[in-house]
Amino acid sequence: MQGAGGVYLMGDVHGYLDKLTRLLRERGLVNERLRWRGGAASLWFMGDFFDRGPNGTDVVDLVMRLQQEAADAGGQVEALLGNHDVLIMAVQQFGHIPLDPPRKTFRYHWERNGGQSDDLVRLTADHRAWLSQRPALARVGDTLLAHADSTFYLGYGQSIEEINAAIRAVLFTDNVNDWDDILDGFARRHAFDGREPGGPQRAAAFLAMFDSRQLVHGHTPIDHVLQCPAEMVAWPLIYANGLCVNIDGGMYRGGPGFIYQLEAAPC
């Protein structure tokens, strides 16, 4: 496996470091000491490093280190911005400030969604700086990568570059309402599901905006969509007439997780 190429995608980790490291070893992307051995391969994380599992900051530390090691070896490790990554930064930055109109705080929502106090204590300025630079959207070949199965991204621009710049700009401000708007946007999901009116058509239009053939996302656990035990989920969910691929294995819900290898587009 060492020196191989290919593009690998990892869904929502949610602090489950042990499951992540097992999967990385099984794919040959790291060695027994958790050092990069993927050579020229690319590894993308779909966001949501934090909450619900015990080791969110340790996961980020590992990914940050692997990013440098992969670059030195001619490979790539990258990550998208997930809503739980935004949420923990919002909790640290805004504390108990009530949201507008007056309602619960970011901390209230974080605690209800599995926030881990140790992660909040250990979240450093370096972690925040790295997380704040993660793209909201990315394209690998003709495949579009997004954390969420949502069209809320279009409220921030008409191109990947515009959207990433606009969302990144919010993360460097003290405007609590703008942060809240991002999190509200992430809360909208199932936009492309065939069980929703116009779901596949919405997927096709969304992909056309970014000149892409297929969307790969996390955010919505596959077991929740299929109404099956999370322990049974070890492969992606392809839906919307093949336009969308969900790779959230629901690790925090008991799923073993999996790493998805992106297939090359047909010539």
pLDDT surpasses 90 at 99: no
pLDDT surpasses 50 at 149: yes
pLDDT-derived band of residue 4, with 50, 70 and 90 as boundaries? Answer: low
Least confident span in 16-25, 52-61, 96-105: 96-105
State CA 212 to chain mean position distance. Answer: 19
> Using a CB cutoff of 8 Å and minimum separation of 24, what contacts does 192-199 make?
192/149, 192/239, 192/240, 192/243, 192/244, 193/149, 193/225, 193/239, 193/240, 194/239, 194/240, 194/241, 199/240
**CB of 111 within 8 A of CB of 181?**
no
Of 194 and 79, the one with more pLDDT: 79
Using DSSP's 3-state secondary structure scheme, residue 138 falls into: strand
Q: Could you tell me the two tokens for 122?
A: 């250990």
Using DSSP's 3-state secondary structure scheme, residue 133 falls into: coil
Least confident span in 43-47, 95-99, 119-123, 241-245: 95-99
Q: What pTM does this model have? A: 0.95
Of 265 and 209, the one with more pLDDT: 209
pLDDT-derived band of residue 1, with 50, 70 and 90 as boundaries? Answer: very low
Q: What is the CA radius of gyration of the chain?
A: 18
pLDDT digit string, tens, across residues 109-148: 999 999 999 999 999 999 999 999 999 999 999 999 999 9
Using DSSP's 3-state secondary structure scheme, residue 7 falls into: strand
Of 195 and 87, the one with more pLDDT: 87
**What number is the average pLDDT over the span 62-78?**
98
Q: What percent of the chain has pLDDT over 90?
A: 91
Mean residue pLDDT across the chain: 95
pLDDT of residue 103: 72
pLDDT-derived band of residue 266, with 50, 70 and 90 as boundaries? Answer: very low
pLDDT of residue 100: 73
